[in-house]
Amino acid sequence: MTTLSLVIPLLNEEGNLRLLHQKLTEVLSTLDCSYEIIFVNDGSADGSPQILEELFKSDPAVQVIHFQQNFGKTAGLVAGFRQSRGEIIITMDADLQDDPAEIPAMLAKLKEGYDLVAAWRYHRHDPIDKTWPSRIFNWGVSTFSGVRLHDFNCGFKVYRRAVTERIPLYSDFHRFIPVLAVGQGFRVTELPVQHHPRHAGVSKYGAGRTIRGLLDFITVLFLTTYLKHPLRLFGLAGLAMFGLGGLIELYLAVEWLQRALGLAEVEPIGTRPLFTVGILAMILGIQLFSTGLLGEMIRYFTFRPEQEYAIKKILQHDS
Ligand code: UDP
Ligand code: MG
């Protein structure tokens, strides 16, 4: 029988936990699977810890991880993934915006042959200051990463275990899980789901996440594409810059020579802006190139073969 692991990171969700647990249990008990529900209390300061202890005592399927303090949703997911034992892992927010009733449809989609199914909140019940930045975010991530999804950051996702074991998650990378999974060669798809307004409590994410999300995205793009060959990016840009600066200075050198030999009437070169531009470009070129070399060095010394590829399956004869 398949085992499902539900992983639910939460921060101050006292008004939602009992109902969430009840709804989850209703749905999960109809499935032909065994299951565990792992709540990760990300440093809640309300009544959540007590409610979780109660749920733990009353339901053997419940497990609780209490963080020492608030470490963020990504950390909560990672801790839950590590604690989980199931072949299939389901993540969900604790505020009942995601509907447990959609779990069977998400599982069915996974079984069509995918490694990760991301829920797509096609009709989002969130304030406009959240939906619009999110739309731009999704468009940007989809365009620049080449992963064609509508909704990257929905907390509701269904994974095969291999995915949760392989993708590197830190910072606030939970927003880019599909990109990281595709980067490892996993098959990722989406499924439109019902979305609800928050049942109780307040959102934990403000506008500050937009800029942090952008910086994180640049990191993720870099990690999934250029990290493997830093010099190919920085070395090329560095050479181009250095070359450009060199050409400018060469041109000025020719003029200087013409002037020195009295062959032509040209301005002295020392005070011309182009002179400074050329030197700047050359210095920038050297710096870019050295950054690439440093990148290659870091990569060389931190090289771990198992990070280089994800194996799907090995066929081998017993020796
Ligand atoms: N969350 C968490 N740690 C945090 C912030 C949020 O575990 O530091 C949880 C939160 O309790 C909820 C989920 O992450 O279960 C999504 O947060 P929220 O509903 O506030 O985000 P929104 O839906 O408003 O984007
Ligand atoms: Mg929410």
CATH number of the domain enclosing 101 = 3.90.550.10
**242 shares its domain with 292:** yes
- How many domains does the chain contain in total? 2
> Which of 225, 245, 270 is a domain's end point?
225
> Is any ligand 1 atom within 6 A of the Cβ of residue 36?
no
Position 247 in a domain: yes
> Is any ligand 1 atom within 6 A of the Cβ of residue 15?
no
Structure confidence at residue 143 (pLDDT): 94
CB 28 within 8 A of CB 59: no
AA identity, residue 27: V
**196 shares its domain with 287:** no
Position 314 in a domain: no
CB 182 within 8 A of CB 120: no
Query: Quick one: CA dihedral 169, 172, 175, 180, positive or negative?
Result: negative
Using most ligand atoms within 8 A of CB, pick from 16, 66, 71, 93 the residue to mutate for ligand 1: 93
CB 32 within 8 A of CB 25: no
Q: Mind listing the pLDDT tens digit of every residue in the chain (319 residues)? A: 899 999 999 999 999 999 999 999 999 999 999 999 999 999 999 999 999 999 999 999 999 999 999 999 999 999 999 999 999 999 999 999 999 999 999 999 999 999 999 999 999 998 888 888 889 999 999 999 999 999 999 999 999 999 999 998 999 999 999 999 999 999 999 999 999 999 999 998 877 777 888 899 999 988 887 778 899 999 999 999 999 999 999 999 999 999 999 998 888 888 999 999 999 999 999 999 999 999 999 999 988 888 788 888 899 998 7
Closest among 138, 219, 122, 132 to 178, alpha carbons compared = 138
**220 shares its domain with 234:** no
DSSP annotation of 228 reads: G
Structure confidence at residue 305 (pLDDT): 84
**297 shares its domain with 253:** yes
Position 124 in a domain: yes
CA geometry: angle 165, 231, 250, nearest 5 deg: 160
d(CA 181, CA 165): 11
Structure confidence at residue 11 (pLDDT): 97
d(CA 195, CA 107): 17
AA identity, residue 189: T
**182 shares its domain with 245:** no
Calculate the dihedral angle through the C-alpha atoms of 166, 218, 141, 151, rounding to the nearest 10 degrees.
Answer: 60
Query: For ligand 2, a single-atom ion, which residues have Cβ within 5 Å?
Result: 93, 95, 97
**Could you tell me how many helices (H) and strands (E) the chain has, helices first?**
10, 7
Closest-approaching ligand to the CA atom of 94: 1
d(CA 150, CA 193): 12
Position 316 in a domain: no
**67 shares its domain with 214:** yes
**179 shares its domain with 295:** no
> Is any ligand 1 atom within 6 A of the Cβ of residue 94?
yes
Atom of ligand 1 nearest to the CA of 72: 8
Position 36 in a domain: yes
**281 shares its domain with 153:** no
Closest among 44, 77, 80, 37 to 58, alpha carbons compared = 37
> Which of 192, 225, 258 is a domain's end point?
225
> Is any ligand 1 atom within 6 A of the Cβ of residue 155?
yes
Structure confidence at residue 180 (pLDDT): 94
**221 shares its domain with 237:** no
Position 259 in a domain: yes
**141 shares its domain with 250:** no
**263 shares its domain with 198:** no
Q: Residue 303: give the domain boundaries.
A: 230-307
> Which of 225, 250, 275 is a domain's end point?
225
> Is any ligand 1 atom within 6 A of the Cβ of residue 205?
yes
Position 312 in a domain: no
**148 shares its domain with 220:** yes
